[in-house]
Amino acid sequence: MKWNSYMFFQQEEVFDFWKGYYAHRNAKLLFVMGKGFDPRMNNTVKKIFENVNYQSLDCLAVDFPAKEETDGDEFYKENVAEFEALLKGKGVSYQTITIDSKLSWDNRIKSMLRQLNQIAYTAYTDIILDVSAIPCAYYYNIAKLLYDKTQYDQTNFFITVSENVEIDKLIKKKYNEETITPLYNFRATYGMESVFNPINIFVPLMGEDKKEHLKLIFDTFHPKEVCPVLPFPSKEPGRSDQLLWEYNDFLTDTLKVEPQNLLYAPERDPFELYNRLEKLMKDYKDTLRLIEGQICFGFALLTSKLLALGVLLIGLKYNDEVQVYNVNSSKYDIADKRKIIEANEHSEPFLMWINGEPYV
């Protein structure tokens, strides 16, 4: 079964892999990235130039321009200036797809996908998607498109992220335009609208300060059972215990979650989360097969990008059975610029090999 055995690299392993793998290959790379205010925007592209021996490199940037006089505007301008300086003299072909924030969320994504579909992906040996500076609703859909394009040939498809939970905490979403709906293209065929009385199983990935979002998604999805996912082991000792304490009243008194329904997954291995979620889904389907009900699994992304990638894999493989919820917002509050810049010095690279040579 795909991704039960997998290729996953973290920290210095990422650069060692790139140096070795591309040392003697005539690689034609497409590097897909986000162009926005997140300070992690250029972390990976710097390392690409330092470590990859490529025959040719094209860069495709999905542009999320910050609005004037917003907290992210200064960061955006600095990131873009640094990015353009990095490209000078590198012989890199560069193309931008700009997101139109005036459109509705679904139409923004549809417009982006139409433009992405015009790219000749078969011209490349390797495609690397860097999700570090791309909002979840977009990178889920970009990843799905690239997965579908590379699934049946030998094109290598990688996903990389510059992970930093501290930065995620420091960048706060503004919620005046929040929407609680499943992500576009990750709305199960077996959802509430398509099947009478489906059996909904709710699997929230727990993160700090998300209690209101958890309640909103729960009330929208109307699950029969809830299986919270807690990060363990974690880089921060005791994090899962702290989350249990933070959500104790809601999990025990409101949701009536039984201890056996708690699921633990390593905070820094999305493939392992994928495997545990796949087993959870299989167990529910085996148990409920006798009543012949349609099961819909609803996932809430209340955690880091790295763990959210584990749910992405589930969505790619079990698209008809999965609804993925995220709180979308295009406005953010950056409380302390200095702290974010300092925190970015400790960002860590992770690389997932999704399609290609190991799976042929």
Q: What percent of the chain has pLDDT over 70?
A: 91
Which of these ranges, 61-75, 101-115, 139-153, 252-266, has the smallest mean pLDDT?
A: 61-75
What SS3 class is residue 180? Answer: strand
CATH number of the domain at 209, please: 3.40.50
Same domain, yes or no: 142 and 230: no
Same domain, yes or no: 322 and 346: no
Tokens of 211: 């209690």
Average pLDDT over residues 135-154: 94
Same domain, yes or no: 162 and 27: yes
Tokens of 303: 């955690």
Q: Is residue 346 part of a domain?
A: yes
Same domain, yes or no: 207 and 146: no
**Residue 345: burial class (beta carbons within 10 Å; 0-12, 13-18, 19+):** exposed
Residue 69 has pLDDT above 90, yes or no: no
Give CA–CA dist 326/214, Å, rounded.
10
Q: Is residue 141 part of a domain?
A: yes
Q: Do the beta carbons of residue 325 and residue 182 sit within 8 Å?
A: yes
Same domain, yes or no: 165 and 182: no
Residues 190-234 pLDDT 10s? 544 555 678 999 999 999 888 988 999 999 999 999 999 999 998
Residue 68 has pLDDT above 90, yes or no: no
Which of 185, 180, 184, 233 lies closest to 204 in space, CA to CA? 180
Same domain, yes or no: 32 and 163: yes
207 Cβ contact list (under 8 Å, min separation 6): 243, 302, 303, 304
Same domain, yes or no: 270 and 200: yes
Q: What is the pLDDT of residue 55?
A: 84
Give CA–CA dist 265/203, Å, rounded.
12
Across-strand partners of 156?
A: 126
CATH number of the domain at 344, please: 3.40.50.10770
Model pTM score = 0.93
Same domain, yes or no: 226 and 100: no
Q: Is residue 2 part of a domain?
A: no
Residue 177 has pLDDT above 60, yes or no: no
Same domain, yes or no: 142 and 199: no
Range of the domain at 203: 178-328
Q: Count of domains in the chain?
A: 2
